[in-house]
Structure 1
Amino acid sequence: MLGEAFSRLGKDKEAENWFKASLATRPDHVPTHLTYGKLLARNITRVIEAENWYTKAQAIAPEDASVYRHYGQFLLDQSRYSEAASKFERAVSLSTPEYEDVVRAATSLRLAGNHRGAERYYKMAVNLKPWESSGLSNLGALYHLMGRLPEAEMKLSPADTVTRENLRRLRNIINLHEEQRRIVGS
């Protein structure tokens, strides 16, 4: 797709022209809707227009997990966490759950303050890829946020699966959470 190629090269005007030409000949082509929406979303003044392309793609292909995946990422990028979570949850429900979709659903739920929902999806992520250390560290960090410290420690104890980077991330999350508690408490 030429529009996508131009977009990757940073030639947004040319990309947009190709997306429009493609949509003129194939107005029901979902991948074009999604990639055009992604292009428009990079411009803060065109976010509403970008979202319109995602909703059009959803109307054309309401059972396509990739539509919900892309729309969810758009919403997550806009800090619309609850809405993003619902799109990622839908993507997970429409096909065999993909690890990345499950983690994005969990992360969106956590950012929206729905820790119980996030826990369910982080557990699913760990079950999908038990060797993936980020799943364990995310679940451990969530348990810490929920005040469930023994469970947090348990998820982070298998030293052979926890990397230094994940431990650094966990420490940052813990420090941020403690700082937020201090601010709220003062």
Structure 2
Amino acid sequence: RQHYFDRKAMLQIARTMHYQPSRAVFRVAFYSGMRLGEVLRSQAVQTVSGLGLGVIDSKNGTPHIVPANDRIAHLIRGAAWPPKVHKSTVSHHTKLAMVALGMGHYRFHDSRHSTASQMIQQGVSLNTVGAVLNHKSTASTKIYAHLATQQLADAVRLVGKKSAKILQPHPQAKAA
């Protein structure tokens, strides 16, 4: 069971939430692909590439840092991060908002699947998606492979085309 929503739907859900801390957590989860518990345990960290969110103890037991895009940075700058809100409170507010919008079959964790879907639709490789989501195994990321139809079509179109550079045999290679 995989449900995906786009940024427009995510914003509708967030705007329907009346409790700002739950709204911020939901938006950060969508933009980062982090699990709910990871968002709530995350800390703002400075990385080589700029601001990020770091979790010392992720679900798979390893430290994990997600670089912050502009939207995440906006949400975590100048605010006490993470918000002091319980996991069940965020889940409850998310569910209420989704039901109010006729999306009762969705759940908070679908924001994570939506992040993966968005990245794949933008041409991000499955390996990179797996790294962002902090998957321990590539098998976990393969559930999104069916979304990469454009990349598959582009790859197949390359078969049989002339390459820009003609490969010449090495001068010392013997002719077969």
Higher Rg: 2
TM over 0.5: no
TM-score, normalised to structure 2, is 0.27
The structure richer in helix per residue is 1
TM-score, normalised to structure 1, is 0.26
The structure richer in strand per residue is 2
